[in-house]
Chains A and B, each alone.
Chain A
């Protein structure tokens, strides 16, 4: 499951490391943007540990939201060309039998490459 962590004021603290040690959960960092005053981190967390991990981050003072849809497709705009397929580093997109493009959003790491590669502006990365 994708989880977005917002941190502020404690960018110096090893928050992620503390949570991993605390919970013993193998967390995968998909993306992290951290500057002098705040940070946004997207994590992949096993579904059964989500509540525990979220709680641990909140204890460290971070705010947590679960990302149900990391990437959103506007089906009215998508023409199923497949421009997104080869640029995605984690193979979210694939052709299915009728040559429409299927999406496995659970794999998405929100790199945004598909968003600019889509000629029809059909894709959007969700931040919350």
Chain B
């Protein structure tokens, strides 16, 4: 069995004889050649990915002012950084949002944008506050800094380069604005993320060459893998890695602030991992193609921890632009950039070919076993059944409007569920609907004035979700129904308020 070592490869990088292919080129190569030939002929395979990586940020050291300050609150261009560190250290997280001034509207701007602007060499407003101590007497500081004024600017990203990611769609009748982008109603589109054939962790899924100390491409500079990323979940092929690199060497082309409409701020980060082809097993793994890589399309219309799966899908289908959902052709959008993922794999290939980048053996590989745990919640979640009123008056769709008015007045309530002949929920009338009908002299049946699109709840729905439903639809009550669409209660915003206050 053909093998070679990291130092043999680095010797070839040094003398200029190294042979490098991108992961895309390697996939094509392995269709014509065996893994054994690959080990002899190919030394390094370069990967790349460029997408939203929220779990990213930068440690900054500003140097000491005179008189000195122990920075307890720091804002960079009005974006707050974390300061529970030493006096002039801070960590700016990618998703921190600019503190908004009431009445002023701003372009979305946050931590990711501050980091991009730092790399681009722009001047940044630094505002710091402190309560003052004997050794750090200063209480307030305002200045302008650039990246060159900092002692250190070290990007440390707790979670980057997911091996793959769930694709998103939306079964509801409303547009959803999510961190997976704009999701059109009724399965109107699918969004996905990930570089497929170029994905770093998918090209070495057993992490033979990727782990603590692996030298990588990070944001246009040479960076390192620290270890597995947060939520590393190799059992489910959702591996992640934690990375670091010197921000001062990075290129703003590969680190971009981003904003997802009605969601918030993120940052696009470019990551590329070189895979040294040490043996046939490693070589064979880099032959992976988009058609081998599967993920799931999940329904973001169900706002729960686990979004229900709609179907399994390959990256080949996602990247074709159209996927089939129940016989309907649905268009796809990528949120990560394959164009830039390829640029990263190409750039890394150039660096290695030019003798500027040497591969490294990890001190220890990323864990190959393990999974993500859900949160332990001790308080228990309130359910609609805890808040609903079980005594609910209803009315038949054929009843006269006058009858509805009488019921509402007798019962001192505003919402009257309307039932069809078989006793199932078919509509709702409010005291407003009835007043309007009376004002118009309308003497018809309830059916003619009811709203047919009733927003409903179920007894086992989380109260939080019911509240959000009412806010979104701008309504103040939800009929609670069972599986047969029979009305078993009513929950109002007043009931929910009382319940939440009591806690």
A interface residues, Cβ below 8 angstroms from B: 79-87, 94-95, 98-101, 113, 116-117, 119-121
Contacts and interface: CB of A to CB of B under 8 A. Distances in A.
Contacts of A86: 184, 188-191, 330-333
A95 B333 CA distance: 10
Contacts of B261: 116-117
Chain B contact-residue range equals 20 to 34
B333 A119 contact: no
A61 to B, nearest CB: 34
A126 to B, nearest CB: 18
**What secondary structure prevails in chain A residues at the interface with B?**
loop
Contacts of B336: 81
B182 A87 contact: yes
Q: Which of A81, A101, A120 has the most CB of B within 10 A?
A: A81
B22 interface: no
Contact of A116 (B52, B182, B333): B182
Which 3 A-B residue pairs are closest in the complex by CB-CB distance? A86-B189, A86-B333, A119-B258
A32 B334 CA distance: 31
Given A119-B268, A121-B107, A79 B340 contact: yes
A83 B335 contact: yes
A100 B260 CA distance: 20
Given A95-B321, A99-B337, 6 more contacts: A80-B340, A85-B331, A86-B331, A87-B181, A119-B259, A121-B108
A120 B256 contact: yes
B256 A79 contact: yes
Interface of B: 50-52, 107-108, 177, 181-182, 184, 188-191, 256, 258-262, 266, 268, 321, 330-340, 342
B339 A119 contact: no
B331 A120 contact: no
Contacts of B342: 98-99
B321 A87 contact: no
Contacts of A83: 181-182, 191, 333-335
Contact of B333 (A85, A98, A100, A120): A85
A64 B380 CA distance: 62
A119 B337 contact: no
Nearest to B266: A119
A101 B262 CA distance: 24
Given A86-B332, A95-B321, A99-B342, A80 B182 contact: no
A40 B40 CA distance: 67
Contacts of A121: 107-108, 259
A121 B261 CA distance: 10
11 contacts: A80-B340, A81-B268, A81-B333, A81-B334, A81-B336, A81-B337, A86-B188, A86-B331, A100-B339, A119-B266, A121-B259
Contacts of B190: 86
Nearest to A80: B339
B182 A119 contact: no
A81 B335 contact: yes
Contacts of B107: 121
Given A79-B256, A81-B334, A86-B332, A119 B181 contact: yes
A77 B265 CA distance: 15
